[in-house]
């Protein structure tokens, strides 16, 4: 049994993401056998030249999408946190889409049911967007690992600043 804080999800580093959309191409080819961003489970967004970020499902605990679904079409896998869509039960009402804070729930343009990131669980080498990202901006991590990473870089920066200040004082 995997604890919720150990569930892995795909996340993008805003410092590294450049909005090239390679993740969208890799995702749609892997999952839908086509190059079509509207069928990708991860979407890159460029707010301006400097502000780029790819966003997908974060496999939240107590997901808002599931709570919002009036037809019980959504469920969450215990171990992975992946949101499973029962395509027979979903009628495309889009309540889950408005409930998700990350825009990670999307309407499939042909099936007219929602879809979201499945962590490429059938792929032996994991999420394909992570594998293909040319900037290594994407990673498949748990919240624990993400916190450790942030903590490490924060502390490193702190010591770097301290060093610089000491150098300046001299």
- The contact pattern for other proteins, residues 129-168, with x = CB under 8 A and - = no contact, is ---x-xx---------------------------------
Nearer to other proteins, 52 or 142 (CB): 52
Rounded to whole angstroms, how far apart are CA atoms 56 and 106?
10
Q: Which of 34, 148, 153, 157 binds other proteins (CB under 8 A)?
A: 34
Rounded to whole angstroms, how far apart are CA atoms 29 and 33?
4
DSSP letter for each residue of 40-66: -SSEEEEEETTEEEEE-----SS-HHH
Nearer to other proteins, 61 or 164 (CB): 164
Residue 119 backbone class (left: φ over 0; alpha: ψ -120 to 50; beta: rest): left
Q: Which of 19, 63, 81, 127 binds other proteins (CB under 8 A)?
A: 19
Give every CB contact of residue 52 below 8 A, 6+ residues apart in sequence: 14, 17, 18, 19, 44, 45, 46
Binding footprint of other proteins, residue count (CB under 8 A): 24
Q: Which of 1, 88, 101, 109 binds other proteins (CB under 8 A)?
A: 109
Query: Should residue 102 be labelled a site residue for other proteins when binding is judged by CB under 8 A?
Result: no
Tell me the closest approach of the beta carbon of residue 149 to other proteins, in angstroms. Answer: 20
* SS3 at position 145: helix
Strand partners, 48: 51
Kindly indicate which of the ranges 45-53, 94-102, 141-149, 160-168 contains the residues binding other proteins, using the contact rule CB under 8 A.
45-53
- Which residues here bind other proteins, judged by CB under 8 A? 18-22, 25-26, 29, 33-39, 45-46, 49-50, 52, 109, 132, 134-135
């Amino acid at each position: 049994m995997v604890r919720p804080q150990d569930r892995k999800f795909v996340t993008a580093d805003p410092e590294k993401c450049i909005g090239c959309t390679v993740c969208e191409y890799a995702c749609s080819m892997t999952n839908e056998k086509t190059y079509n961003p509207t069928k990708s489970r991860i979407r890159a967004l460029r707010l301006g030249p400097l502000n780029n970020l790819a966003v997908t499902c974060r496999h939240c605990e107590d997901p808002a999408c599931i709570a919002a679904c009036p037809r019980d079409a959504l469920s969450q896998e215990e171990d992975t946190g992946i949101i499973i869509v029962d395509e027979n039960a979903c009628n495309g009402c889009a309540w889950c889409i408005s409930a998700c804070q990350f825009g990670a729930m999307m309407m499939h343009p042909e099936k007219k049911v929602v879809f979201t990131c499945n962590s490429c669980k059938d792929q032996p080498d994991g999420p394909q967007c992570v594998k293909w990202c040319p900037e290594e901006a994407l990673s498949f991590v748990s919240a624990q690992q993400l916190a450790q990473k942030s903590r490490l870089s924060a502390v490193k920066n702190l010591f770097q600043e301290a060093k610089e200040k000491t150098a300046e004082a001299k």
